[in-house]
Amino acid sequence: MSLALNRENYVWHKLHSLSGIIPVGFYMLQHLTLNSFTIAGPEKFNGVIQFFESLPKHLLLVLEIVAIWIPLLFHAVYGLFIVNRGQSNYFEGKYKWSQNRMYTIQRWSGLFLFLFLAFHIATTTVAKYIGGSATIIEYAAWQEKLTSYGYALFFVYLLGVLAASYHLSYGVWNFCIRWGITISDKAQLRIQKFSFGMFIAVTLLGWSVLVGFLIHKPVVGAENTPAMTRIVELGLPFA
């Protein structure tokens, strides 16, 4: 029985590590990259939202469930199981090496991310489906959200991006070790340096998204959009 459990844990651990890279990690990078359209202005960012909302509703929902929600839920719940089973020894003097520190912080970042993503998803995707409108995730709504309560949520999202960036970047380091990609000390040192560079790059990308929500005046109402303005100028009837 003990051997069976060990074998099962080994497989689940491998799948947990893999799910953190594909599809969850890939989706995070894609999500931040598309959201960086905030820097180009409200029209560009809202254009990304409108593109996805133009997809057939059933297709979009299936894609979200299969490619995002199920893998993310598995990674989060099994991650909590790993944290609960683990016994941190970093604070014992003889175990304070850098790899142990990275592993420990990755677990802490995962706990914070569990709460942060629950809040983020509930106030964006879930709220959109309940309200039946994508307005709640458009530029103006985000700007109002991030500047409310004395910019408190803006700083919460700064921390959320930081935690997500660290968790993914050093998850790559952990993934390469767990899957036997980096075996030698030199290979592990190289991927450790790569993870640090990735952490800096992804953090800056995510923070630029948040800053982008603050530097432009939001477009309020369809009558102010370029397409609607052009219709009025041409004297075309409204549909």
Helices (H), 179-216: 185-212
Which CATH class, in words, describes the domain spanning 2-225? mainly alpha
Closest CA to 208 of 172, 151, 146, 161: 161
pLDDT at 226 over 70: no
Tokens 């948040």 locate to 210
**Cβ count near 216 (within 10 Å):** 18
What is residue 222's predicted lDDT score, i.e. its pLDDT?
43
DSSP, res 22: T
Q: What is the pLDDT of residues 97-124, one digit of tens each?
A: 677 788 888 889 999 999 999 999 999 9
Percent of all residues in the chain with a pLDDT value above 70, rounded to a whole number: 83
Q: What is the pLDDT of residues 16-54, one digit of tens each?
A: 999 999 999 999 999 999 999 999 999 999 999 999 999
What is residue 5's predicted lDDT score, i.e. its pLDDT?
42
Domain ranges of the chain: 2-225
Picking from 14-23, 89-98, 181-190, which range would have the lowest pLDDT averaged per residue? 89-98
Averaged pLDDT, 181-191: 93
Q: Counting beta carbons within 10 angstroms of the beta carbon of residue 110, is it exposed (0 to 12), middle (13 to 18) or buried (19 or more)?
A: buried
Helices (H), 22-138: 24-35, 42-53, 57-64, 70-85, 98-121, 127-131
User: Could you tell me the pTM of the whole model?
Assistant: 0.84
Closest CA to 105 of 204, 6, 209, 195: 195
Q: What is the pLDDT of residues 58-68, one digit of tens each?
A: 999 999 999 99
Query: Which token pair is 15?
Result: 């799948």
What is residue 93's predicted lDDT score, i.e. its pLDDT?
57
Average pLDDT, the chain: 86
Percent of all residues in the chain with a pLDDT value above 90, rounded to a whole number: 71
